[in-house]
Chains A and B, each alone.
Chain A
Amino acid sequence: MLANFNFMVIFEYLPLFLSGLKSTFLISLVTLVLALITGIIACSMRISGIKTLQYPAIAYIEIMRSTPLLIQIYFLYFGLPSLGIVVPEIQTGIIALMLNSGAYIAEILRAGIKSVDQGQIEAGLSSGLNYVQRMRFIILPQALGVTVPPLLGQAIVMVKDTALLSLISVAELTRSGQTMTSERFMPAEAFLTVAFFYMCIYFCLKYLADWSQRKLIFREVY
């Protein structure tokens, strides 16, 4: 099946793959931080109980969750220039990924906060804590443990999503596979190598997610 699989070519192109891996890593890291900030803002708007903040947040989250990421990327990629805004592809891509992941992260955070038992909040109320104190001392410490595993799950999804940026010619891991395919026409070597590198990232994140699942979930103390 892979009788004429050519390892030499892979070694020859290894620098390209490694630089692709590096930019995938950097793009993911930057996007993750930005998406967390977006998610925190969107989540706090959504649970604020103030209608003028709540409705835009709901609209944002629902729109992001019910349209494909590729459409969002193309929307910005083809749309921003027609508004007269010209930014490099990589920035367009990061903005699209940030907005997309931000919506999912907002929902994860909201689920975490909702998972805290109502009785806990009542107990906080009757101890005379105000809203900020209840958040700080009762809700968030419990909610954070619950949110870390799904957040890492979202990070795995997001790393895979960065592959879509290759379609707007951002030079990342998948793009290096495309480059090698078009230069040598060796798609098997190119894309199986790309897949191998993604699997490496996947296993690291998966290990982290499983570990946090075991360690961080706040268990009831008897």
Chain B
Amino acid sequence: MTTFYFGRLVEMFPFFLSGLWMTTKVAFISLIVCTLIGFVLGMLRANDTFFFKHLIGVYVALARGTPFVVQIFIVFFIFPEWGLQLEPFPAALLAMAIMGSAFICEIVAGGIASIPKGQWEAAASSGLTKVQQLRFVIIPQALKVILPPLVGQYVLLIKDTSVVSVIGVMDLTRVGWVTVMRIPEGLMVFALVGLLYFAISYPLILLSNYLERKMAR
């Protein structure tokens, strides 16, 4: 029986690859968007302006304090009540962007805060504008602190894309879920799904470990 199901699973492998492609798409687009928004918010948050600091603080707390499943339900079910009807795929990207930016914002703000005050002062007294100070003096140094946890966060975000399957995005998790209805071999099906996720995220974990060792020196 098991070999029969194994044969069926091999037949369905293209279906899994399409799921893998969807997961990659969701992960890739949302990682880029999250990084961009996260960096901008992080720089604003590290600023001393009361308004930005606290407004972004509230957003970060809301995004980090609630589970991603709840957030995705809110995006998918509540926005239609306000007249914004979203397809599953854009809704998934929006939810990922909201959640991921908050985490990356914290990493960036932490990295910038780790730079001693004297660096800002030295940059200011060389006549650099605020933006130039960030661009040429602060960020290059902060990047050393930011990069290792950032790559670690990428791994977490890629794994979180599995949750978008609950609103019907045909990603790898959804493919596994659909398959297990037809092939009642949960261990085999989800071992295969897990293996495909492993193939994406393990290289990034190794990269994160490498960066951590390298930056520590």
A residues whose Cβ falls under 8 Å from a Cβ of B: 1, 62-63, 65-72, 74-75, 77-83, 160-164, 166-167, 174, 177-178, 181, 187-188, 191-192, 194-195, 198-199, 202-203, 206
Q: List B contacts of A203 (CB < 8 A).
A: 61, 65
A-B contact count (CB 8 A): 131
Q: In whole Å, how far is B97's beta carbon from the nearest beta carbon of chain A?
A: 18
Query: Across the interface, do B173 and A71 meet the contact criterion of CB distance under 8 Å?
Result: yes
Q: Tell me the bound Cα distance from A181 to B160 in angstroms.
A: 23
B184-A191 in contact (CB<8A): no
Taking CB atoms, residues of chain B closer than 8 Å to A82 are 184-187
Bound complex: CA of A195 vs CA of B78, how far in Å? 13
CA distance A194 to B64 in the complex (A): 14
Inter-subunit contact B155/A83 (CB<8 Å): no
Are A174 and B184 neighbours in the complex by a CB distance under 8 Å? Answer: no
Asked if B202 CB lies within 8 Å of chain A CBs, one says yes
Contact across chains for B65 and A78 when beta carbons are under 8 A apart:
no
Q: Do B160 and A68 touch (CB < 8 A)?
A: yes
Among A63, A69, A198, point to the contact of B70 (Cβ < 8 A).
A198
In the complex, the answer to whether A66 meets B198 with C-beta atoms within 8 Å is yes
CB-based contact A67/B201 at 8 Å:
yes
In contact, A164 and B67 (Cβ under 8 angstroms): yes
> From residue A103, how far is it (CB to closest CB) to chain B in Å?
12
Which residues of A are found within 8 Å of B65, using beta-carbon distances?
Answer: 198-199, 202-203, 206
| Bound CA span A66–B193, Å | 12
Contact B66 A75 (CB under 8 A): no
Contact B186 A163 (CB under 8 A): no
Check A69/B184 contact, CB under 8 A, given A74-B177, A174-B67, A187-B81: no
Query: What's the dominant secondary structure at chain B's contact region?
Result: helix
Contacts of B193 in A (CB 8 A): 71, 74
Residue of chain A at shortest CB distance from B2: A82
Interface size class of B (residues with CB under 8 A): 35 or more
Q: Are A198 and B66 in contact (CB under 8 A)?
A: yes
Residues of A within 8 A of B191 (CB): 75
17 contacts between A and B (CB under 8 A): A68-B160, A68-B161, A70-B165, A71-B162, A71-B194, A75-B187, A78-B187, A79-B187, A80-B186, A163-B68, A163-B70, A164-B69, A177-B70, A181-B73, A187-B78, A202-B61, A202-B64
User: B32 at interface (Cβ–Cβ under 8 A)?
Assistant: no
* Distance of A97 from chain B, by nearest CB (Å): 13
Q: Chain B 72-103, CB within 8 Å of chain A: the 1/0 string?
A: 01100110011000000000000000000000
Q: Are B176 and A74 in contact (CB under 8 A)?
A: yes
Contact between B66 and A202, CB atoms less than 8 A apart:
yes
Most buried by B among A74, A162, A181: A74
Q: Given A1-B82, A71-B173, A188-B77, is A78 in contact with B198 using a C-beta cutoff of 8 Å? A: no
CB pair A74 B70 closer than 8 Å: no
Q: When chains A and B are docked, how far (Å) is the Cα of A192 from the Cα of B184?
A: 36
Q: What are the residues of chain B within 8 A of A166 when measuring CB–CB? A: 69
Complex interface: chain B residues within 8 A of A74 (CB)? 173, 176-177, 180, 186, 190, 193
Please report which residues of chain B, range 38-79, place their CB below 8 angstroms from some CB of chain A when the two chains form the complex. Answer: 61-62, 64-71, 73-74, 77-78
A199 to B71, CA, bound (A): 12
Report chain A residues within 8 Å CB of B165.
Answer: 70
Contact A195 B70 (CB under 8 A): yes
CA distance A202 to B69 in the complex (A): 15
Report the bound CA distance from A67 to B185 in whole Å: 19
- A78 adjacent to B180 (CB under 8 Å): yes
Please tell me if the beta carbons of A167 and B69 are within 8 angstroms of each other in the complex.
Answer: yes
Give B86 Cβ to nearest chain A Cβ, in Å.
13
13 further interface pairs, Cβ-Cβ under 8 Å (given A65-B205, A160-B68, A198-B70) = A1-B82, A66-B197, A67-B194, A67-B198, A82-B187, A160-B67, A164-B163, A167-B69, A188-B78, A191-B70, A194-B70, A195-B71, A203-B61
Residues in A whose Cβ lies below 8 Å from that of B185: 82
Q: Per-residue CB proximity of B110-140 to A under 8 Å, as 1/0? A: 0000000000000000000000000000000
